[in-house]
Amino acid sequence: MLTYILFVVGFIVLILGANWLITGASSLGLRFGLSQLIIGLTIVALGTSLPELVINVFASINGNTDLAMGNVIGSNITNTLLVIGVAAVIFPIKVRQIINKRDMWFNLLAVIMVMLLANDFIFGRKHNAINQVDALILLAILVYYLYVSFFKDKQDKKDDHSEEVKIISLSRSIAFIILGGVGLFIGGKWIISGVSQLSTDLGASESTLGLTLIAGATSLPELVTTIIAARKKNTDIAFGNAIGSNIFNIFLVLGCSALIHPIDFDLALNVQIGMLVLFSFLLMLFIHAGKEKTTISRIEGILLIFGYFCFLYYSIYVN
């Protein structure tokens, strides 16, 4: 019973820790002269993937590679279908040109790279896994993405709609960073312990738990933020955060996880990866088709949410 209590509390501590760390680091970044745009592209974007990163790092250290892979794929599917779908249903999403031209293509590239590397289509190895070499490839693409974001695409910096970072005192900034780091560590440890117990008690594989329960829980902050932003009609912020989180989840989270410990790939997960590829293409189709170009309508949002429940049904009852 205590393991289950700590498992639930672990998510609360993990998410609080991520928020504290983002608050402290963002304020500290402003004090060191970083712009709002740079902070949004790095600290805040990384912060949305911190829960997945911490869970995957602990999973990789413990050799729970099924959980590590399932968590990343499940989180990206949740962001693509549920988070973006809910935002569009509340208020149609007008996709900003810079996201359409840059981030959507990196999002699609990320999914395709996972499919190619996990199935060893590139190097032709007999063992299906994402190893340290693959990890370096993913991290190198992340570096290129950050380079493009900072130095190549300078369009409409003054039109950047990201929320303003608040400056707090230096001592509070440091305290938030320390508390955030401690929260991430403790929360991650409790969650990994709980997953092992749940897997045994429910007879469910760790990859299934990662795809559904863990991915859904770690995406809760993005879902809540999306609902708040959509109600204020700032759906472009919600969309950008979801796509940015997808990019970081694969290139950074999966890259770091595989660097620590090679991630064995269960070929059964190809169905979920196929779903992610399909819905990533569908999302791009929604943006470029329909009555209003670069807009995701409410009907398209409902279709995305329906797709999410189809994914859940397959992962829990069929897979």
Above 70 in pLDDT, residue 38? Answer: no
Above 80 in pLDDT, residue 319? Answer: no
Q: Calculate mean pLDDT across residues 31-60.
A: 76
Q: What is the pLDDT of residue 84?
A: 93
Q: What is the pLDDT of residue 47?
A: 75
Above 80 in pLDDT, residue 45? Answer: no
Please name the residue that has the structure tokens 């609080």: 16
Q: Calculate mean pLDDT across residues 246-250.
A: 93
Q: What is the pLDDT of residues 125-165, one digit of tens each?
A: 667 889 999 999 999 999 999 888 777 655 544 445 455 56
Above 70 in pLDDT, residue 296? Answer: yes
Q: What is the pLDDT of residue 139?
A: 96
Q: What is the pLDDT of residues 104-119, one digit of tens each?
A: 999 999 999 999 998 8
**What is the amino acid identity at position 57?**
V
Domains, the chain, ordered by start? 45-161+203-318 (1.20.1420.30)
Q: What is the pLDDT of residue 162?
A: 52
Average pLDDT of every residue of the chain: 84
Q: What is the pLDDT of residues 186-204, one digit of tens each?
A: 988 888 888 878 887 888 8
Q: What is the pLDDT of residues 58-106, one digit of tens each?
A: 888 888 888 889 999 999 999 999 999 999 999 998 888 878 888 899 9
C-alpha–C-alpha distance, residues 50 and 252, integer Å: 10
